[in-house]
Structure 1
Amino acid sequence: MAAKVTLKDIAREVGLSPAAVSLVLNDRPCRISAENRRRIKEVARKMRYVPNQIARSLVTQHSQTVGLIVPNIESRFFSSLARRLELGCRERGYALIITNSDDSPTNDSELVRLLANRGTEGLLVVASDEADADERLITALSELPVPYVMVDRLFGGLSCDKVSFNNEQGGYLACRHLLEAGHRRIACIVNRASNTGRERLAGYERALVERGVDPDPALELESAYYIADAYAAAGDLLDTNATAVFASSDNIALGLLKRLYVQGMRVPRDCSVVSYDNSAADVLFEPALTSIEQNVDELAGATLELLFRRLKADAAACEPIEAEARILMPRLVVKDSVRAL
């Protein structure tokens, strides 16, 4: 492997000082002739010089990096969100460092400190989906010297920029669609231990009550946001005589579909299903799932707008900007998994 080319190597080649070479390659103001500028850049190109971003950040106090914490990078929704955030950061000249908390509050607080110690200029945090905000995470975020945005999963106790979809409205739209198709025995598989799950469940119950249907606790089944957990939870569905199911995430829907197919049941012939997230992966399954869409481009765009607005204000030493909370609206995407009764 060839040795890394340094500023001193280029300076030796052109017969100028390393300081002069550094000024030219970093496009800093200096009294160096146009011819010497041309020579420096030509030699740097021929020698395949790659700038040392760490060294540069020590001088400029800008690392050009942003940190992202997600609870489960294997989730279709979060991997898609991470991809769009990375593209958006790159378009702005920043690198995105992506970390995975495994939905652990302990990991959340440790990753906040890790990314801050790595010199990131801002953080994007999708917290573990717990019923209550973790005090360690609140403390870690409160002590941050850089701006951050809470994304998708929100909780109180912090004055910061926040972006999320209206989960309650998403649950309402899902259940209302099934009711409009004539279903009355509608089950819901939901992660009641999480804020997002409870909000989606509340929307589901609101739609039932609005149509004069009493929510039935026997139809409200519990599952974490993993396929295996949903497969196990769906076993209880077979005794409920439900004609339709609201699966409160795509992973839950896939676990449900697997269990139904093992039992010889087909969607929507034997059971109608509305999912949540509308991830691109569901086009691989038959039938295509009617789902509640959380538009990832919209979420990523709003998140980056808030973060870079604050970074720009900090760089210009402007007056502090008030924290902003943006609640985005989900929408129903009708496909092939609901049968009218």
Structure 2
Amino acid sequence: MSVRASRHATLLEVAREADASKTSVSRYFGGERERLSPALRQRIGEAARRLGYRPNQIARGLKGGRSRLLGMLVADIRNPYSIAVMHGVEQACREHGYSLLVANTDNDPAQERTHLALLASYRVEGLVVNVAGSPTRELQDMADQGLPLVLLDRWLAEVEADVVGLDNPLAIDMAVDHLRRQGYRNLLFLSEPLGQASPRQQRWQRFEQRLADEPTLYGERRAPPLGGEAVEDVVRDFLARTGRSAALLCANGNVTLAATRALQALGVPLGEVGLLGIDELDWCGLVPPGISTLAQPTEAIGRAAVQHLLARLDDATQPPRRTLYPARLNARGSTRLEGLNDNKEWQ
């Protein structure tokens, strides 16, 4: 029986198969492939595939002090935004010779603390954090121990960490400006309960500032539970009082879905009542006449988070940095003010 079928191949066997030194094979799997010639990289890669060789990254980390692992803590792995950003993080990790460990907290602060300890036990070299709670002490302890941290669209003032995410005030400005240009004058900002999620707080606060600066606009802010009929009740009440040129501005994809269902239940045509959501979801272009969105550059955000971690691994003395991205407006039929009647009443 051959080595391939009977047991795991070793690094030395890969070196012999590729007619290469053990050091060259170690560099190939240790993130230093650029130091090898293209021909040598090809021979080592082909030899590893023939032998079915898989490096033991944890063992390599214990031996050499480098695990080649990056960690990612996600508040809700079911959230389309989290999935999209995670893809960008994973792609960047792969390109730089790292593997990604992901932990999901289900928006549970206790699970946040548990998973942070678990990721630390795997000796991750850096951590991307998208938290729902505020594990400030645990994160600052990690930062004090020299672990590079990037907060993903979250702000924890007490934690020395880089921040990567959406420019939330600019996104609200883009949304309000678009709705105003389209003729909507009565705006209802819908959000999930704010809790400790700083993006929700920033969007909520910026909307309030815009209302104060725009006397021709009337607006309200609501954060009803997304389950049951709570959103429908809030929307019905708002439309009954404003009637004409009303629009709903949704703080994220979950709220956009709830608002769409509410308008459908009320029999309200999209466009006649405006609907604009932050976050582009696949179904937004499929619901007639199309739902306008502000799309986040999730791939760029995920890749930037890894770049920040790698920069900190190279130079841990640099001060925390912040990289914020603008959203992209996808204007569709849900924000085309049509067919309005001054006497329209919503029941």
| TM bucket normalised to smaller | 0.7 to 0.9
- Quickly say closer, same or farther: Cα 1:292–1:137, change in 2 above 3 A: farther
Gaps of 5+ in 2: 29-42, 339-347
Aligned residues: 311
- Quickly say closer, same or farther: Cα 1:85–1:210, change in 2 above 3 A: same
**179-188 or 49-58, which moves further after superposition?**
49-58
Give me the whole-angstrom Cα distance separating, in 2, the residues matched to 1:42 and 1:326. 39
Give me the whole-angstrom Cα distance separating, in 2, the residues matched to 1:40 and 1:215. 66
* Aligned-pair Cα RMSD in Å: 3.1
Does the 8 Å contact 1:76/1:281 carry over to 2? no
- Quickly say closer, same or farther: Cα 1:82–1:281, change in 2 above 3 A: farther
Shift of residue 235, structure 1, vs aligned partner: 2.0
Give me the whole-angstrom Cα distance separating, in 2, the residues matched to 1:93 and 1:248. 36
Equivalent residue number for residue 288 of structure 2: 286
Shift of residue 338, structure 1, vs aligned partner: 0.7
**Aligned equivalent of 1:335, options 317, 332, 343:** 332
List aligned pairs for 1:66-77, cutoff 5 A: 66-77=70-81
Equivalent residue number for residue 99 of structure 2: 95
Does the 8 Å contact 2:152/2:305 carry over to 1? yes
Equivalent residue number for residue 36 of structure 1: none
- Quickly say closer, same or farther: Cα 1:160–1:47, change in 2 above 3 A: closer
Does the 8 Å contact 2:296/2:327 carry over to 1? yes
Between the two proteins, what is the percent identity of the paired residues? Answer: 23
- Quickly say closer, same or farther: Cα 1:338–1:162, change in 2 above 3 A: same
Please list the CA deviations of residues 105-129 of structure 1 after superposition, one character each: whole Å capped at 9, or x if unmatched.
222222222111111111111121x
Does the 8 Å contact 2:279/2:294 carry over to 1? yes
Shift of residue 283, structure 1, vs aligned partner: 2.7
Equivalent residue number for residue 322 of structure 1: 319
Give 1:329's aligned amino acid.
Answer: P
Give me the whole-angstrom Cα distance separating, in 2, the residues matched to 1:109 and 1:251. 25
Give the secondary-structure state (helix, strand or coil) at the position aligned to 2:222: strand
Does the 8 Å contact 2:112/2:135 carry over to 1? no
Give me the whole-angstrom Cα distance separating, in 2, the residues matched to 1:288 and 1:207. 26
- Quickly say closer, same or farther: Cα 1:330–1:7, change in 2 above 3 A: closer
Q: Which TM-score applies when normalising by structure 2?
A: 0.78
- Quickly say closer, same or farther: Cα 1:7–1:327, change in 2 above 3 A: closer
Equivalent residue number for residue 237 of structure 1: 235
List aligned pairs for 1:234-313, cutoff 5 A: 234-241=232-239, 242=242, 243-269=246-272, 271-313=273-315
**Is 1:147 paired with 2:148?**
yes
Give me the whole-angstrom Cα distance separating, in 2, the residues matched to 1:212 and 1:47. 71
Give me the whole-angstrom Cα distance separating, in 1, the residues matched to 2:200 and 2:298. 19
Give me the whole-angstrom Cα distance separating, in 2, the residues matched to 1:66 and 1:137. 17
Give the secondary-structure state (helix, strand or coil) at the position aligned to 1:123: strand
Give me the whole-angstrom Cα distance separating, in 2, the residues matched to 1:142 and 1:340. 50
Please list the CA deviations of residues 6-40 of structure 1 after superposition, one character each: whole Å capped at 9, or x if unmatched.
549959x99xxxxx985564259xxxxxxxxxx99
Shift of residue 212, structure 1, vs aligned partner: 0.6
Please list the CA deviations of residues 160-219 of structure 1 after superposition, one character each: whole Å capped at 9, or x if unmatched.
211222212212221222222222221111233332222112222333333314655xx3
Equivalent residue number for residue 182 of structure 1: 183
Equivalent residue number for residue 26 of structure 2: 26
Does the 8 Å contact 1:105/1:137 carry over to 2? no
Does the 8 Å contact 2:92/2:306 carry over to 1? yes
Equivalent residue number for residue 31 of structure 1: none
Give the secondary-structure state (helix, strand or coil) at the position aligned to 2:55: coil
Shift of residue 83, structure 1, vs aligned partner: 0.7
List aligned pairs for 1:30-49, cutoff 5 A: 47-49=51-53
**Is 1:204 paired with 2:221?**
no
Equivalent residue number for residue 109 of structure 2: 105
Please list the CA deviations of residues 263-316 of structure 1 after superposition, one character each: whole Å capped at 9, or x if unmatched.
2222123x11010012344233333221222211331232222111112336xx
Give me the whole-angstrom Cα distance separating, in 2, the residues matched to 1:207 and 1:323. 29
Shift of residue 64, structure 1, vs aligned partner: 1.1
Give me the whole-angstrom Cα distance separating, in 2, the residues matched to 1:48 and 1:304. 29
Shift of residue 49, structure 1, vs aligned partner: 3.4
Give 1:189's aligned amino acid.
Answer: L
Give me the whole-angstrom Cα distance separating, in 2, the residues matched to 1:256 and 1:40. 55
Give the secondary-structure state (helix, strand or coil) at the position aligned to 2:334: coil
- Quickly say closer, same or farther: Cα 1:308–1:268, change in 2 above 3 A: same
Give me the whole-angstrom Cα distance separating, in 2, the residues matched to 1:107 and 1:143. 22
Give the secondary-structure state (helix, strand or coil) at the position aligned to 1:26: helix
Give 1:73's aligned amino acid.
Answer: I
Does the 8 Å contact 1:66/1:96 carry over to 2? yes
